Structures are given as C-alpha cells and as structure tokens.
Amino acid sequence: MKASGIVVEYNPFHNGHLHHLQQSRLTTDSEVIIAVMSGNFLQRGEPALVDKWTRTKMALSAGVDLVIELPYAFATAQASDFAKGAIFLLDALKCTSFCFGSEEGSLEAFQHTYDLLSVNKVAYNTAISTLMKKGISYPKALNEAYNIVSKDVTVPLVDLSKPNNILGYHYIEAAKTLHAHIQPETIQRVIANYHDEAKTSETIASATGIRKVLFDEDDLTKVQSFLPTTSLDALNEWQHRADSFANWELFYPLLRFIILRHTKESLAQFAEVTEGMENAIWNAATTNVTFQPFMEKIKSKRFTWTRIQRMLTHIFTEFTWKQLHDTELPTYIRPLGMNEKGQAYLQMIKKDLQLPLVSRVAASKENRLLQLDIKAANLYYLGLQSSFGQQMVGSDFRIAPIRM
Amino acid sequence: MKASGIVVEYNPFHNGHLHHLQQSRLTTDSEVIIAVMSGNFLQRGEPALVDKWTRTKMALSAGVDLVIELPYAFATAQASDFAKGAIFLLDALKCTSFCFGSEEGSLEAFQHTYDLLSVNKVAYNTAISTLMKKGISYPKALNEAYNIVSKDVTVPLVDLSKPNNILGYHYIEAAKTLHAHIQPETIQRVIANYHDEAKTSETIASATGIRKVLFDEDDLTKVQSFLPTTSLDALNEWQHRADSFANWELFYPLLRFIILRHTKESLAQFAEVTEGMENAIWNAATTNVTFQPFMEKIKSKRFTWTRIQRMLTHIFTEFTWKQLHDTELPTYIRPLGMNEKGQAYLQMIKKDLQLPLVSRVAASKENRLLQLDIKAANLYYLGLQSSFGQQMVGSDFRIAPIRM
C-alpha cells in the first residue's frame, strides 16, 4: 500500500480541501492518504473553530484514511517548525510522498527557490536581520531579502509573498534538512486565496472566509454551499453540543484573566513574547473588555497579527520559551482517527515505526509533548465556557481514535 | 482625638458587627473608630461576597470613621500574619487601643495565656510539631499542645478552641512582638458563634450563616432582620450591578482553568501549597466540574478547609511562596473610605505617619504589596464573569476613597 501525506488544519473542512485531497491521491497515485492535522490550536495562533475530534470526523468522512495529530508545540509554531514537525511525522509514517497546495503549482520553481536560498543562505539571513532591525515585520523582511538575492536569477522561482507558497517552501526545506525519504509534490490551489474574505466561486471559499461568515452571521446555511454535507453535519452537531464556535473573542475573558494574573515581567517567559510585547499585552488587557480592540491596541509594525496571536496562544496554554527551545522533533505518533484502509496501513507499518504509536493517551502520559497536547485540549474546552466544555476536560483520556 | 482600631472583614456587615462597633467605641472611650478591613479576598481563603468598596460603604454607613485596606498578603495569611499586619497598621495609625470581639470576653485571661505560652514556647512548639507529624491538622495540634502546657495552671486562661479567641490571642501576640504602643481591649461576642449556620437570635446571626442563606436561597429578604438597613441597601445595589454575590462556586471555572493551565509541579510554587497538595488539587480539578465536589475530593485530615482555600486563593492570584516569604510588614496606609471625623483624624496625624498614605494608587503603583492588592482586585472582578466585573478591572486606579 502506497501512502501519501498532507498537512492540514481543516478549520473547517471545505470543498477546497476536498479538491486538494482528491488531487493529492491522483497526483501521487497513492492508495492511502494520511493527514497530519493540528489539534485544538492552530498555526495562526487561534483556537480551532471546532475541536480536533470534530475536525477528524470531517476529514474521515471526506475520504482521508488516517488522521495524525500534529503536537501542540509544532502546530502553533512559526512556519519552519510547523513544517518540520509535520514532514517528520509523515516521513516517520513511511509516506512515499507529501502533496501540498500552493499558489505556484509547479514543483520545479520550489526546487529552484530552495537551491537559490541554500546557496545564498548567509546573504539572505543577513538581509533579513538588517531589514528587521529597521522595524520591518518578519514576513516583509523575508520577502524583501528574497527579492535581493533573486535579483539576477533567470530560472523560474516561487513567489514567496503568497502564504501557501511560503508553507510549501518550508515543507521542502524540512524534507531536505531532515534527510527524509519522503518526496514533495504540489498542486495548484483553485480559485480562493487563503486570505479571501468573500466567496470567490459558487462552491469554493477559503476557510478564513467561511469562518468570517460563520462569526458575522452565526448561520451555517450561509456557508453550506462551500462545504461537503458531511462537514455541515459535523458543524451542526458541534453547535448543538458546544453552543458556540471557538474563537479568541469567546476565549478573551479567560485570556484576559491569565494576562492580568501575571505581571508584565512574568509574561515575557512565554514563547514568542519578546521585545517589550509583554508590556503592550498587559496594558491592553487592563483596558479592553473585548478581543478586537485589545488586538488593535497591541498591533505593531514589527509583528504580524498571526505572530501576536501565537504569543497569546502560548500565554493561554502556559507554553514557555524554555519549552519551545526544548522542542526538537515529534516523539510519538498519535492517530486521531482512521478508516479501514488507514487501519490496515497502520497495521502494516507498525513493526517498522521508530516512534511509539499512541492510541491510548494514558499509557504515554509522561511524554512532555503529549502532556502539552492534553493540556491544550483541556484549556480549549474550558475556553468554550459551556457545560459541554467543562465536561470535555480530560477527554483525551476517554476518547479512542475514531473508526469510520 | 482619641482613636481605637478594629480588625474586620464585614462579609457582610451585620447587626453583630454593629454591636461590636458600638461597644468598641464605649469600651475604649474613643472618638474615632478605625477599621482595618480585608480587600476582595479574605482570611478564610475566599472571595468576599461583595467588593471592598461596597463593604467600605456598609462600614461607613454604620458609623466606622475610617476604613483602611489590609493588604492582600496579610488579609489572606494565616492568623498570626493576618494579626501582625492588622495590628501594625492600627499602631501606625496612632490608635491608642484596638478592641476585638472574643468568646472569652476578658482581657485578663488573654494576658495569662500569652504569658503562659511565652514562657513555655519551646515545649509548646515541640508539642505542636510532634502532633502534626502524626497527621493532625494545625488547629487541632495547637489545641492539644495548649492543653498539654496548661495542664497545671490555675489562673484563668482562654479557650483556644474558639475561633475568635484564637484571633484575639494573635492580636495580643502581634502587639507584643511588634513592641506596639497600641493597647488591647476585648468585648464578649453576643449570641451567634462564628460558625453557626442557623440564626441564633431574632437580629443577630453570624456572617457565615448569613452567607449560607444568601447562597442557598438567593433572597436578600431572608436575611434582612440580621442586617442594618444600610447594609441591605448596599447588598441590593451590588446584586443589581454585579448579578451575583461572589464565592468559589462562581469563581470555579476560572480557578479550574488556572489549575489545569499549570502542571502539578508548577502548582507547588504558590503560597501554602505543600506536602503533595499540588497533586491532589490538580487531580481534583481534572475530574470536577463544580467547586463543592472538587473540595470534597481534596479535603484531608492534615489541612483544614480554610487552609486549602487559602492555597486556592494564592493559586488564583499567582501569589507564590517567594512572595509570601518576602512579606514582612505593611508598607503603606491605604484609606478605602472615611467620614468627616475620619478625615479630620487623618489630617491630624498625617505629618507623624511613618508609612506613605496612599489615596491615589497611581502614585504608588510600584509598591509590591500594593500591586498585589490591585491585581487581587482585578482578578476578583474578572472572577464575577459579568460585564460589570469586566468593567471594574483597573478600578483601583479610578476610585478615590469614599467620603461619607
């Protein structure tokens, strides 16, 4: 059985994801598709709309064969570590390939870009630091530095101002630096851009756009044309049980409490909180009763919105710089769900796995990264501030991988 | 102007407190009565029913001339440090006397008891440690050790199994060890015992009993006969603005979040958390959705309910062992409210004060103990989980001492 991997958040699973899933299977000619999926907190530094179990159900219903949790420490990390954790897991799972969606759509351009930046590593990094010292945000600095080193290049290169191209670049970089056996593939994303807020076709909209409509209108029927029926059912069931979709606005009373429970100084211990941001965060929490104006108050040219949200995520979950620095690579494989094919595949590769396979969390609860996943899940459920959320604390110990 | 001090929590101010106030004025023949009052968290390790401003209003309405905040680090400490902080402040405020209610009612017995325990200090403390090593709780060990050293004594002694006698003993001890000028007085408490849950007369009930009725029946009219009208008005106004009276049950979702955000190990950094209680607390939080069963799960013979609640208070406010050990004596005098007489008195003694007088918090915000008071107040308001609570964050900076 040949397996291919994809890296996903499915927040929520929509028709664009379905396209990516089907194309990945075709492009890589694989029988098994394995998705490495973030848990309850995401790379944009946000709580997921619905929990990891609900998102696993959506994935399996749509045809993913096996869903593996990307540990918190990678799922909420900046792009390069996010990519490293995900590709490492897919490689450990003996996938022959991984397939990512990109604005670019051609692997060749990625290869050229990787080679260019490897050869010009020092010049590139120097340019980035110089630009950042001028107060330019990290993504912008990356982009400008890239323009500098690629000035006279004639081979096709990737446009690294596009978010999925950036992620794709990091996947390829991760596969190289990990000396992984797994081979990259890319397919072109259709129509909707990642950041698009409005719907861009009759059936395809970005997850960002879908979430915006959900929060603005609180009406699932407004987004139903962009979702497989199975996703719609899962979201309906979640809304029925949990009352609300999760976002920072909902979690803000708890976040605010946590921030004000700390001193400015002690906030600086949390991962990614740097350059006096502890003061800005603490001051903004003192005076702001809701999340949006709180963020507007913190926002600065030096840091992207996403970066600031990651700081808040780490404050929320008590994830420190020390823990971040102690994190190297995933130390376990945790299936969240599988269909029969996924199960057969796991059975087949089981004896060759270099990492422990965690189906029952209790048996591995001393694992530091796994403890973080369990904690992040618990705090997410408490963040919902509903009786459902209170009941879901400790559910990582009670819920077995979903079989579908 | 002669001033006498009292040490109070007024949770809430009831007819028994009114009696104590009036008798204190008579017994000490003082023109001015100064109350040192706990802020939003109390010595039993609980959030106060209503905030410090509302309790200050009740006190002033009933005839207290000046209300001073007992800093958090003392207000939530065990009896000896609580007493030390309070008596130090009253002495610093040039009170000639302080007057406490006790079950005993005679100062002579307190003097004898103090002398006895001073002379037999070593034997007494040895007995306490020996008993505690057998797993007996601190209050019980105190009591048994006291019985041992007082076996053959013929002069009248205080019954130290009674809660107000214990506090009184610590006030006297504090005055002695601080070499304070202030002189003790005691008056006998009427009728209601501190721990009585039921009403014990037509007009006097304990604060504990009143709170129990309030929480069980959620009906202020059920307790109105035990309260001065002015207290009833203040409680009514609070209920109207804040929705709920505060208690641990209301604060539990936040407390639970805080506990589960920590690891067991990191919980042990908080003041009074000792002897593996971090494990008991963390485990109980994982499985319990409400406060009462959570506490039942933690309860042990070694620690009183009150002691455990103090651990929880310190976890809630992020008050560590280190901060506890760094706390020696109050470092400022913060008036929460006064009438004209109280104001005149403050004016009179102002130039002789050894401690800074903090009327505007912003001017002294670097003071470590004051920062704790401000933080405790903010977290208390966030604990209310109402829009009123969210708005009250930072109110220490906005609210001036109440003038009445």
pLDDT tens digits, A36-62:
999 999 999 999 999 999 999 999 999
Residues B404 and B402: their CA atoms lie apart, in Å, by 6
DSSP code of residue B326: T
> B191, B242, B296: which is closest to B48 by C-alpha?
B242
Closest Cα in chain B to A396? B286
Pairs of residues, one from chain A and one from chain B, whose beta carbons lie less than 8 Å apart = 70
Contact B286 A379 (CB under 8 A): no
Q: Hey, what amino acid is at A277? A: M
- What value, to the nearest 5°, has the Cα angle with vertex A314 and ends A310 and A320? 125
Domains in chain B, CATH or no CATH each: 3-103+167-194+330-403 (3.40.50.620), 107-159 (no CATH), 248-325 (no CATH)
Return the minimum-mean-pLDDT range out of A23-32, B129-138, B185-194.
Answer: B185-194
**pLDDT(B199) > 70:** no
Inter-residue contact A343 to A295 (CB < 8 Å)? no
Name every chain A residue with its beta carbon within 8 A of the beta carbon of B312. none
Name every chain B residue with its beta carbon within 8 A of the beta carbon of A258. 257-258, 261
Q: Which of B257, B289, B382 sits opposite A260 (nearest CB)?
A: B382
**pLDDT(A251) > 80:** yes
Inter-residue contact B196 to B206 (CB < 8 Å)? yes
DSSP strand pairing (A66-70 vs A335-338): antiparallel
Q: Which of B253, B256, B289 sits opposite A391 (nearest CB)?
A: B289
H helix or E strand, kind and range, residue A323: helix A321-325
Closest Cα in chain A to B289? A390
Q: Which of A256, A382, A387 sits opposite B256 (nearest CB)?
A: A382
pLDDT at A142: 86
pLDDT at A300: 83
Mutate to test the interface with B, among A393, A396, A397, A398 (most CBs of B within 10 A): A393
Spatial strand order of the sheet with A402-403 comes to A183-188, A97-102, A3-8, A32-38, A66-70, A335-338, A402-403
Minimal C-alpha gap between A387 and chain B (Å): 8
Hunting for tokens 């494989």 — which residue is that?
A: A333
pLDDT at B366: 87
pLDDT at B85: 98
DSSP code of residue A194: T
Name every chain B residue with its beta carbon within 8 A of the beta carbon of A385. 253
In this predicted model, what pLDDT tens digit does every residue of B3-57 receive, in sequence order?
A: 999 999 999 999 999 999 999 999 999 999 999 999 999 999 999 999 999 999 9
Name every chain A residue with its beta carbon within 8 A of the beta carbon of B257. 254, 257-258, 379, 382-383
pLDDT at A195: 55
Q: Which of B260, B263, B385 sits opposite A253 (nearest CB)?
A: B385
DSSP code of residue B333: B
Q: Hey, what amino acid is at A196? A: D
pLDDT at B196: 54
Task: Provide the token pair at B94.
Answer: 């040039």
Minimal C-alpha gap between B331 and chain A (Å): 20
In this predicted model, what pLDDT tens digit does every residue of A306-356 receive, in sequence order?
A: 999 999 999 999 999 999 999 999 999 999 999 999 999 999 999 999 999
3-state secondary structure of B203: coil
Q: Which of A257, A266, A393 sits opposite B286 (nearest CB)?
A: A393
**pLDDT(B388) > 90:** yes
3-state secondary structure of A198: coil
Mutate to test the interface with A, among B382, B392, B397 (most CBs of A within 10 A): B382
Rounded percentage of chain B residues whose pLDDT exceeds 90? 87
Residues A255 and A311: their CA atoms lie apart, in Å, by 11
Residue A263: Cβ-neighbour burial (10 angstroms; 0-12, 13-18, 19+): middle
Inter-residue contact A36 to A8 (CB < 8 Å)? yes
**pLDDT(A76) > 90:** yes
CA B305, chain centre distance (Å): 15
> A2, A260, A203, A18: which is closest to B394 by C-alpha?
A260
Q: Which of A258, A261, A379 sits opposite B317 (nearest CB)?
A: A261
Rounded percentage of chain A residues whose pLDDT exceeds 90? 87
ipTM of the complex: 0.88
3-state secondary structure of A35: strand
In this predicted model, what pLDDT tens digit does every residue of B79-122 receive, in sequence order?
A: 999 999 999 999 999 999 999 999 999 999 999 999 999 999 99
In this predicted model, what pLDDT tens digit does every residue of A278-302 receive, in sequence order?
A: 999 999 999 999 999 999 999 988 8
Residues B95 and B81: their CA atoms lie apart, in Å, by 19
Inter-residue contact A313 to A376 (CB < 8 Å)? no
Q: Which of A254, A262, A394 sits opposite B318 (nearest CB)?
A: A262
Inter-residue contact A193 to A206 (CB < 8 Å)? yes
pTM for the full predicted model: 0.91
Contact A254 B254 (CB under 8 A): yes
Using 50, 70 and 90 to split pLDDT, how confident is the model at A200? low
Using 50, 70 and 90 to split pLDDT, how confident is the model at B72? very high
Residues A78 and A74: their CA atoms lie apart, in Å, by 8
Closest Cα in chain B to A366? B263
Residues B36 and B69: their CA atoms lie apart, in Å, by 6
Q: Which of A289, A317, A385 sits opposite B261 (nearest CB)?
A: A317
Residues of A with CB under 8 A from a CB of B: 253-254, 256-258, 260-263, 266, 286-287, 289, 316-318, 371, 375, 378-379, 382-383, 385, 387, 390-391, 393-394
Mutate to test the interface with B, among A260, A262, A270 (most CBs of B within 10 A): A260
Q: What average pLDDT does the structure give for chain A?
A: 94
Name every chain B residue with its beta carbon within 8 A of the beta carbon of A283. none
In this predicted model, what pLDDT tens digit does every residue of B336-381 receive, in sequence order?
A: 999 999 999 999 999 999 999 999 998 888 899 999 999 999 999 9
Name every chain A residue with its beta carbon within 8 A of the beta carbon of B256. 382, 390, 393
Using 50, 70 and 90 to split pLDDT, how confident is the model at B197? low
In this predicted model, what pLDDT tens digit does every residue of A380-400 receive, in sequence order?
A: 999 999 999 999 999 999 999
Residue A286, Cβ neighbours under 10 Å: how many?
16
Task: Provide the token pair at B398.
Answer: 């906005």
Name every chain A residue with its beta carbon within 8 A of the beta carbon of B270. none
